Amino acid sequence: MSDMTSRFAGKIVELPQYRGKTRVFDDRRGAGAVLAEMLEDFRPSGAIVLAIPAGGVPVAACVASALGLELDVAVVSKMTPPWNSEVGYGAIAFDQTVLLNDALIADLGLTDSQVKQGMIDAAKKVKRRLQALRGDRPMPDLSGRTAILVDDGLASGFTMRAAVAAMKKAQAGRIVVAVPTAHGDTVAGLSAVVSAIYCPNIRRGWPYAVADAYRQWRDVDESEAAEILREFHH
C-alpha cells in the first residue's frame, strides 16, 4: 500500500463540475454513488468504511457496497449549549476522545459546569448510539488499516475532527475523509490532519448548510441507520 500512500497523501479530491453549486445530489444514496466512483482506487485495498451516524450511514453503505469494503460506524456526538442544539462547541467520540473549541466556548460565555454537563450529555448520546448501532460487538482492529470516514457533509467539521483523533488513537494506517459536500475552509483545515479528503461539492461563503447540496433532504434517525446497517451485513 505504500504506492497508494504516496499518491494520496495530503490530497483534496473534488469534482470541478460540482464546485460551488447547490442541489447537486438527489439524496444521500445518490451522493454515496458519486463518492464511490471517486474512491474506486480503494476497491482492492482492504480499507474499512466508517460511517458517522446517523446521516452518514446511508452514504457510507452505498460506498462500502459499491467497493466491496467492510462497513462499520464511528459514533461521534457534538456538545451543544442548552439554548442552541445546532451550535457545537465540542465533540466526543466512541472511544471517549474529546475535542473542545475553547474560542467558541469563550464567545458563548459557557461556564465550566455547563461545558461539563454538555460533555456528560454527549457521552450518554454516544453510548446510546453505540448500543443501537453496534450492540455488544467490539470495534474492529484498525491498526495499520486505511480508515475511510464518511458523513453526509461537513460545515465546521468539528465532529469529524473528533473522529479523526479517535482513528489516530486506534493507530489506523491512513485516514481518509469522504463526504459529498463541505465548506471550503473546513476542507482546507482537515486536509492538514488526514491523508486525503474526497469531496465532490466544495462550497464557500456563509451561511453554509449541508442540506443545500441535496434536492431531497430529511433527518436520518437511529432506527433507520440501524436498519441500513442490518441490511448491509445480511
For 54-87, what is each residue's pLDDT tens digit? 999 999 999 999 999 999 999 999 998 888 877 7
CB 64 within 8 A of CB 233: no
**Within a domain: 123:** no
Q: Are strands 98-100 and 174-178 parallel, antiparallel or unpaired?
A: unpaired
Residue 50 C-alpha cell reads as 466508517
pLDDT in tens, 10-58: 599 999 999 999 999 999 999 999 999 999 999 978 899 999 999 999 9
Q: Confirm whether 12 is domain-assigned.
A: yes
Identify the pLDDT of residue 81: 87
Single pTM value for the model: 0.92
Asked if residue 195 is part of any domain, the answer here is: yes
User: 171 in helix, strand or coil?
Assistant: coil
pLDDT at residue 8, rounded to an integer: 40
Q: Per-residue pLDDT averaged across 196-215, rounded? A: 95
In a domain, 118, yes or no: no
In this prediction, what percent of the chain has a pLDDT beyond 70?
A: 96
Residue 147: inside a domain: yes
| 60 neighbors 71 (Cβ within 8 angstroms) | yes
Per-residue model confidence as pLDDT tens digits over 114-135: 999 999 999 999 999 999 999 8
Query: Which residue segment(s) compose the domain that 27 sits in?
Result: 2-75+143-232
Total domains present in the chain: 1
- 167 domain residue, yes or no: yes
150 neighbors 175 (Cβ within 8 angstroms): no
The DSSP H or E segment spanning 130 is: helix 112-134
| CATH number of the domain to which 9 belongs | 3.40.50.2020
